[in-house]
Structure 1
Amino acid sequence: MAFIAQRGAFWRAEVRRKGHKPVYRTFDTRQQAQQWARRIESEIDCGAYVDRTAAERTTLREALLRYQREIVPTKRYQRQENHRISRWLHDDLAHRTLANLRGVDFARYRDTRRDAGRAENTIRLELQLVSHLFEIARKEWGFEGLPNPLKNIRKPSGSRARDRRLRPGEFETLHTLLSSSHNPWVAPAYELAIETSLRQGTLFALKWEWVDVKARLITFPPEARGTENKGVPHVLPLSLRAVAVLRNLSAIAEGNTRFLDKRLHFGPVDVNPSQLRGRVFGTTANAVLCVWKRCLVKAAELKPEIKELRWHDLRHEAASRLFEKGLHPMEVASITGHRSMQMLKRYTHLKPESLLEKLG
């Protein structure tokens, strides 16, 4: 039998059963306390009782901070995860307890983010983070009775597939603007992105120790290859143009090392890249992208449609160029690192003009 007593303006209900720790809760009325006590006793009798105390006391904010300490360090893209967590910490739902959150709350969050103009994939990743948090809490943090409310809502469909490639004259326009910037690494990064099809993160993580200019190969160590659909090939073959770009990058690296007050411009050089160590690019991806966006704005004055171009579209351009050179799909996949033909097809956009000669 439950013990119910009045304490001040509230009513405290306590249920004690052998084999279970005491369960208690405070209510505004005696009737609420009695209803809760009967429900708990019924669940204990039929063996369906699960302690919800932790879920009722832990807020989403507290759970997010624990997730940030324990789970995020095990992930590859920690910066993006921390950014999403920061976004959730500033939302009103962060002050609610885990047991008090419902699917309708996250459906409302989804719709609010859509109305604010957020991309579908952005919303999907934000919801996916919280969904994973609920699963971790249920499986590893002792919240066994905690349901995952995000399983009850419709998820955003994801990002729209892009088919943007460089149009006639855009490569030259952008290269000229990037070369005239104060950052000597930007123009080579632009060319190397197209010649190697490497993703932004992998491109700016390149190290000279991996590059063999004479053999025209880049050998990626296991820790740099990534997992699942974000992988890169074990060995990446280089085009003659890519080799030329790397030689110029080695000259820039040598110039920055020996003459910190001078910058070497992109052009013919005579430097041995095999003698260099450390990162290929002496700048950050963020610095390059800042210059890239400024150049897009300038280029848009003459070509308005160029403003919609993104850095990741260069990977689409690279994959398409490899097919236009006549490479077999398996050969292209061995360069781009795509794990499935379906994803490779999504990154390939052949120009109809390039097919005319084959059609006859």
Structure 2
Amino acid sequence: MGTIVERPRGDGTTAFMAKIILKQKGVVIHRESKTFDRRPAASAWIDKREKELSQPGALDRVKVNDPPLKDVITTYIADSLKEAGRTKAQVLKSIQGDEIADLACSKIDSPRLVDFARRLAKTRDPSTVANYVSHLSEVFTVARPAWGYPLDRQAMDDARIVANRLGLTGRSKQRDRRPTIEELDKLMAHFAGRRQRAIPMTKIVAFAIFSTRRQEEITRIAWEDLDEEHSRVMVRDMKNPTEKTGNDVWCDLPPEALRIIQSMPRGKGPIFPYKPDTIGFAWRDAIAILDGIEDLRFHDLRHEGISRLFELGWNIPHVAAVSGHRSWTNLKRYTHIRQRADKYAGWKWLEIVTPKKEKAEEQ
């Protein structure tokens, strides 16, 4: 028997969710729902679906189209023309290992989704749980209209509200960790002492600071994207709250960042032809080995670089031209900086990582 539930929307309008639940001997064997803007449309859909489901073999066909969530996630990744980012791919793979992924689509309701968030919250902070739920929500958004899988989008929306109210999800706290010159000297000496020919971490660390580029962005920058005349570079697929793939942005290069690029061997393809994971492993290994450096992440170098530009007296538009921020709102957190000096003035490592051309060719 179908029912219609009215749900108020944030814009003041009312949505009408049509629900169908079929039982045999008191056990739910099928459920599905669909939301409409008008009650008559919801009622008409219920009538149509009940007639379809009453046909011989209809329920068997529905069951075939009611796979476990883990299979839907696999389909989502395979069918998406947009390549999933490293973090998103890891999150979705992790979700496939949770017990909720073994449930058929029609069995996943709001309480089960909230329980999923509770399990995550036992070992993860609210901002991380929010990311997991957000990536899973994208699967719910496309599953029914794209493949006919009965994942309930409304159940996901309800679960997200509940998880937020219960404190299971939340925004990440602003991180203000900045490395000291002493810490950076330790790291640079460590990387230089290892003489790692496979990956020049001293150059990469320095470039991350002076360019304000993220770890993955550094590895995507190609020689073809460099505009030396105007001291800028095209950053491909820059991270963005709503879109990443295809979000290509021209970013200015401070003089120090351009010097580091010019010290790299010329060629085609990436200027820094290394994998983000390799950089991450090298960084984390160094932090674990070195004494006196606690809770310093590679991404903190971007924060350090942006802070430095404000300390040089740059205004928000000027800094945004380097950092690639579309919204200046996120840069307002730096406007409290009153220091007007360059702590990297005379920093020996900039000279070391950008040697004279003839010396660079010998290395």
Same fold per superposition (TM over 0.5):
yes
Equivalent residue pairs, number? 290
The letter of the residue matching 1:219 is V
- Taking the aligned partners of 2:151 and 2:213, their CA distance within structure 1 comes to 44
- Taking the aligned partners of 2:29 and 2:249, their CA distance within structure 1 comes to 60
Q: Are 2:232 and 1:218 equivalent residues in the alignment?
A: yes
- TM-score, length-normalised on structure 2? 0.69
Q: Are 2:298 and 1:292 equivalent residues in the alignment?
A: no
Identical residues among aligned pairs (%): 19
When residues 157 and 171 of structure 1 are mapped into structure 2, their CA distance, relative to the original with a 3 A threshold, is same
- Residue equivalent to 1:135: 141
Q: Are 2:106 and 1:119 equivalent residues in the alignment?
A: no
Q: Judge conservation of contact 1:206–1:279 (CA < 8 Å) in 2.
A: yes
Q: Are 2:326 and 1:339 equivalent residues in the alignment?
A: yes
The letter of the residue matching 2:283 is W
- How far 1:349 moved relative to its partner? 7.4
- How far 1:324 moved relative to its partner? 0.9
> Residues 229-281 of structure 1, C-alpha deviation per residue, up to 9 Å, x if partnerless?
7778743333332233223322xxxxxxxxxxxxxxxxxxxxxx4xx222112
When residues 323 and 112 of structure 1 are mapped into structure 2, their CA distance, relative to the original with a 3 A threshold, is same
- Taking the aligned partners of 2:281 and 2:217, their CA distance within structure 1 comes to 18
The letter of the residue matching 1:218 is R
Q: Judge conservation of contact 1:229–1:339 (CA < 8 Å) in 2.
A: no
When residues 175 and 216 of structure 1 are mapped into structure 2, their CA distance, relative to the original with a 3 A threshold, is farther
Equivalent position to 2:211, from 188, 193, 196: 196
- Residue equivalent to 2:9: none
- TM-score, length-normalised on structure 1? 0.70
The letter of the residue matching 2:69 is L
- Taking the aligned partners of 1:96 and 1:193, their CA distance within structure 2 comes to 43
- How far 1:145 moved relative to its partner? 8.6
The letter of the residue matching 1:342 is T
When residues 125 and 234 of structure 1 are mapped into structure 2, their CA distance, relative to the original with a 3 A threshold, is closer
- How far 1:168 moved relative to its partner? 4.2
Bigger Cα Rg? 1
The letter of the residue matching 1:61 is K
Structure 2: gaps (5+ residues): 1-19, 31-39, 54-58, 342-363
Q: 3-state DSSP class of the match of 1:318? A: helix
Q: Judge conservation of contact 2:208–2:218 (CA < 8 Å) in 1.
A: yes
- Taking the aligned partners of 2:184 and 2:121, their CA distance within structure 1 comes to 34
Equivalent position to 2:258, from 227, 231, 243: 243
- Residue equivalent to 1:67: 76
Q: Judge conservation of contact 1:236–1:335 (CA < 8 Å) in 2.
A: yes
Q: Are 2:185 and 1:172 equivalent residues in the alignment?
A: yes
- How far 1:129 moved relative to its partner? 2.2
Q: Judge conservation of contact 1:217–1:235 (CA < 8 Å) in 2.
A: no
Within 5 Å, give how 1:98-117 maps onto structure 2: 98-116=105-123
Moved more, 185-194 or 229-238: 229-238
